[in-house]
């Protein structure tokens, strides 16, 4: 993805690490859910969508999505969660 946190000025090292981790969680969940959606479209209904390990992970997912939208508003539609079928 072309969006980098380098566009955000004044981040501490800890903020940078937290935000990077949040963005990685967002992309991990999106990739997993996209794979599941494609399998379900193919007729395999035995696969399940991603289940967050904790409320903290779910919060990080949301933070990652918001950071991506904030730093790439022209492509905000790329960060819409996968539609679950």
Q: pLDDT, tens digit, for every residue of 23-74?
A: 999 999 999 999 999 999 999 999 999 999 999 999 999 999 999 999 888 8
pLDDT band for position 1 (cuts 50, 70, 90): very low
Q: 62 in a domain, yes or no?
A: yes
- DSSP secondary structure string, 21-62? HHHHHHHHHHHHHHHHHHHHHTT-TT------SSHHHHHHHH
Number of domains present in the structure of the chain: 1
Residue 36: give the domain boundaries: 12-74
Residue range 73-85: average pLDDT?
Answer: 89
Query: How would residue 8 be classed by pLDDT, with cut points 50, 70 and 90?
Result: confident
68 assigned to some structural domain? yes
pLDDT of residue 6: 63
23 vs 85, which has greater pLDDT? Answer: 23
Q: Is 47 left (phi over 0), alpha (psi -120 to 50) or beta?
A: beta
- Quote the pLDDT of residue 3: 56
């Amino acid at each position: 993805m072309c969006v980098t946190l380098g566009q955000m000025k004044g981040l501490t090292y800890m903020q940078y690490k937290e935000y990077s981790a949040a963005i990685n969680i967002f992309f991990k969940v999106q990739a997993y859910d996209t794979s599941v959606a494609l399998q379900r479209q193919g007729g395999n209904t035995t696969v399940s969508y991603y289940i967050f390990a904790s409320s903290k992970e779910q919060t990080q997912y949301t933070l990652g999505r918001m950071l991506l939208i904030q730093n790439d508003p022209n492509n905000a539609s790329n960060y819409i969660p996968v539609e679950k079928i």
